[in-house]
Chains A and B, each alone.
Chain A
Amino acid sequence: MDKRPAFDVHNLRKRYRDPDVLANDGLTFSCYQGEAFGLLGPNGAGKTTLVRQLVGLLRPTAGEITLFGEAVRPGHPVGSRVAYLPQGSLSLGELKVAEAVAWTAILRGCGKATAVAERDELIETLELTSIAARPIRKLSGGQRRLTQIALTLAGRLPVVILDEPTTDVDPSLRRRVWSLISRRAREGTAVVLVTHDVAEAEKALDRVAIMSGGRIVAAGTPSELKAHLAHRTRLEVAVAEGSSTTPAEIAGVFANGAKTDGRRVSAWVPADEAIAMLEKITTSFPADALEDVRLVTPTLEDAYLELSGHYLEEQR
């Protein structure tokens, strides 16, 4: 890859003292300018601990973090080059949305005219126009989160770190957020994204690291990660409402077990047997017992669940 690395992380370890927890265990990766790099993993995987070390808010126990070739020193903020959206709520409740965005851009070094132009663009893109003059404390949770995203992107710093940006944001606006993040990455920003929203983030991410138990258990492009599951296909069946056929009967057809969720049954089958299994289902049960039958190509979310060990937990 000929892009310049923004962050280089080498053998990073973080152990908390109270309680004694090894939150990051030997993490090594790079994040480049012009790419959206996703950190995926279950709660407690060590993602937030990692990003707080990237911005100098936490002290690593061991290892090295460099930002554009310079060591990140804890307590010496990297705010001139990195904008950080934490998980927590915003403490600028008295400010109005528009002034908070413009003022943050000025604090990040923009002149007034640039700050105003940035403010207008972000407010329009994130559909904040109707609440631009409203104090942040009077906004809903989702509106506050969008305002926080606008604050983070204001000033156009070369690196942006977003920790669960779409929490509380409604689905239609989430798409706008992902699209904006993706656009910023294409324009040269290095974006580090922590999210649980794997299905929607997939389109915005160029590379992904999947974390579990403080370690990176897999890394690569979404296509590379999905290739882990290329030999399998998911067969999903929805039992018609009021049918005498039960989901348990359908699940019994699958030799390797199936998962039932209400009227829905899903199971992984070898890719080369998928069509045969589909035919078996449709011929074994009356047509009016099956509301929907489909074969689903593995998604990044499937790869995430598999690689982070979640599928194993579900099957136990």
Chain B
Amino acid sequence: MSSRASSHRDRLGILLRMQLARVRTAWRPYVIVSSAMPLGIAVLLRAVMDPKQVDRFGEQIVAGSVVLAIAMTAVVMLAQRIASLKENGGLEFYSSLPVRRWMVIASVLVSFAIFSLPGTIIVTVLGALLFNLSFAALWAAVPVWALGSFALAGVGVAVGLAAPDEQLAGMYSNLAMMAVLFLGIIPAGKLPGWLGPVRAVLPSTYAVQALKPGLEGTISGGQVVDLAILAGFGALLFWAVRGPLWPRPE
């Protein structure tokens, strides 16, 4: 043990451990809720589709379900957590500590990205089995999870900060999740044209696009572009929640 003053790295590590401690009480929702609904949707669609449709849309459905699993934790649960912290003074606890705001936000985003991992693995593996997809390039799901969960957690924090209370944060984040669900699982060609701009501004769109080739057993240059766009979303949302969206003193 050392008696030197703690460094930024020490403090960031402690903040992350503080956030991760939440798993002690909330691991069930993180695992069960985040995987049950996306898996249920995949099973339902598998049951009503004929073999041709399964071959044609299987990757899209599994990729959409995986991103939905990430969104359940990183958007819905995180938005409610942030709104609750804002409401009960928890954010003020962090504001009263001599730690930079970016550290607090980074610890929250990284912890919820980690919390989304079990659901991501469960839905990816079971979804691939359900639709007979290739496991050859499933490793490509790793960068999609890392960048996608970070960007979607940014959406979750933004919704939590913008919502007046926890109930409305729940409502807004569920609406965001519905957008992720429909715009992620339904192929772009089958959506009305006016939804195109909405798809374009959702990070989940690029997460689904980046994941699909991996489920097909191939890797393409387009994936790198989608991953870069996801990283851009993550950076933009990080900036927004750290600056303009962070609560100002009354």
Q: Identify whether the interface residues of A are mostly helix, strand, loop, or mixed.
A: loop
Quick check: A86 and B6 within 8 Å, CB to CB? Answer: no
Q: How far is the CB of A132 from chain B (nearest CB, A)?
A: 15
B10 A106 Cβ-Cβ under 8 A: yes
Contact of B3 among A16, A103, A108, A114 (CB under 8 A): A114
Contact with A along B1-26 (1 / 0, CB 8 A): 11111100011001101100110111
**Residues in A41-62 with C-beta less than 8 Å from chain B:** 55-59
Chain A interface category by residue count: 35 or more
Residues in A whose Cβ lies below 8 Å from that of B95: 57, 77, 79
A63-94 vs B, CB cutoff 8 Å, 1 = contact: the mask equals 00000000000110101101110101111111
Which residues does chain B contribute within 8 Å of A104, judged by CB atoms? Answer: 97
- Interfacial chain A residues near B85, Cβ < 8 Å: 91
State whether B6 touches A109 (Cβ < 8 A). yes
Cross-interface CB contact of B98 among A57, A109, A115, cutoff 8 Å = A109
**Given known contacts A77-B98, A88-B89, A94 and B6 CB-to-CB distance under 8 angstroms:** no
Also in contact, A107 and B15, with CB within 8 A (given A74-B249, A79-B98, A91-B88): yes
- With beta carbons under 8 angstroms apart, the residue of A84, A93, A94, A109 that contacts B96 is A84
Q: Are B3 and A111 in contact (CB under 8 A)?
A: yes
Chain B residues positioned under 8 Å from A116 (CB to CB):
1
Tell which of B5, B17, B18, B249 touches A56, judged by Cβ atoms closer than 8 Å. B249
Option from A74, A79, A103, A114 in Cβ contact (under 8 Å) with B17: A103
Does B99 lie at the interface of the complex (its beta carbon under 8 Å from any beta carbon of A)?
yes
A107 touches B6 (CB 8 A): yes
Judge whether B248 and A75 touch: CB under 8 Å: yes
Contact A107–B99 (Cβ < 8 Å): yes
User: B residues within 8 A CB of A79?
Assistant: 95-99
Return chain A residues, CB-CB under 8 Å to B1. Answer: 111-113, 116
Q: When the two chains form the complex, which single residue of B11, B22, B96 contacts A106, counting CB atoms closer than 8 Å?
A: B11
Q: Which of A107, A108, A137 has the most chain B CB atoms closer than 10 A to its own CB?
A: A107
Please, which residues of chain A bring their CB within 8 A of the CB of B14? 103, 106-107
Which parts of A242-281 form the interface with B (CB within 8 Å)? none
Known: A77-B96, A112-B2, A114-B3. A91 touches B90 (CB 8 A): yes
Task: Contacts A83-B96, A110-B5 given; indicate if A92 touches B88 (C-beta within 8 A).
Answer: no
Confirm or deny: A26 has a beta carbon within 8 angstroms of a beta carbon on chain B: no
Checking B3, B10, B22, B250 against A58 with a beta-carbon cut-off of 8 angstroms, the contacting residue is B250
Q: Give the Cβ gap from A175 to chain B, nearest Cβ, in Å.
A: 27
Do residues B25 and A108 form an inter-chain contact, with CB atoms below 8 A?
no
Tell me if B93 is interfacial: C-beta within 8 Å of chain A. Answer: yes
B99 touches A93 (CB 8 A): no
Closest chain B residue, CB of each to CB of A59: B249
**Interface membership of B55, Cβ < 8 A:** no
B15 contact set on A, CB distance < 8 A:
107
Residues of chain B with a CB closer than 8 A to A103's CB? 14, 17-18
- Of the candidates B17, B24, B96, the one having the most CB atoms from chain A within 10 angstroms of its own CB is B96
For A91, list chain B residues within 8 Å (CB): 84-85, 88-90, 93
Please give, as numbers and ranges, the residues of chain B lying within 8 Å of A86 by CB-CB distance: 89, 92-93
Query: How distant is B13 from chain A, measured CB to nearest CB, in Å?
Result: 9
Given A91-B85, A94-B21, A111:B98 Cβ within 8 A: no
In the complex, what's the smallest C-beta–C-beta distance from A4 to chain B, in angstroms?
Answer: 20
Q: Which of A57, A82, A95 contacts B21 (CB 8 A)?
A: A95
Q: Which residues of B contact A84 (CB under 8 A)?
A: 96
Contacts of B24 in A (CB 8 A): 94, 135
Using Cβ atoms and an 8 Å threshold, which residues of chain A touch B99? 79, 107
Give the distance to chain A from B66, nearest Cβ to Cβ, in Å.
27
**What are 21 A-B residue pairs whose CB atoms fall within 8 Å in the complex?**
A57-B96, A59-B249, A79-B99, A84-B96, A90-B93, A91-B85, A91-B90, A94-B21, A94-B26, A95-B18, A103-B17, A106-B14, A107-B11, A107-B98, A110-B5, A110-B6, A111-B6, A112-B3, A113-B1, A113-B2, A114-B3
Q: Nearest 9 pairs between A and B by C-beta?
A: A91-B90, A80-B98, A74-B249, A79-B98, A113-B3, A88-B89, A113-B1, A94-B21, A111-B3
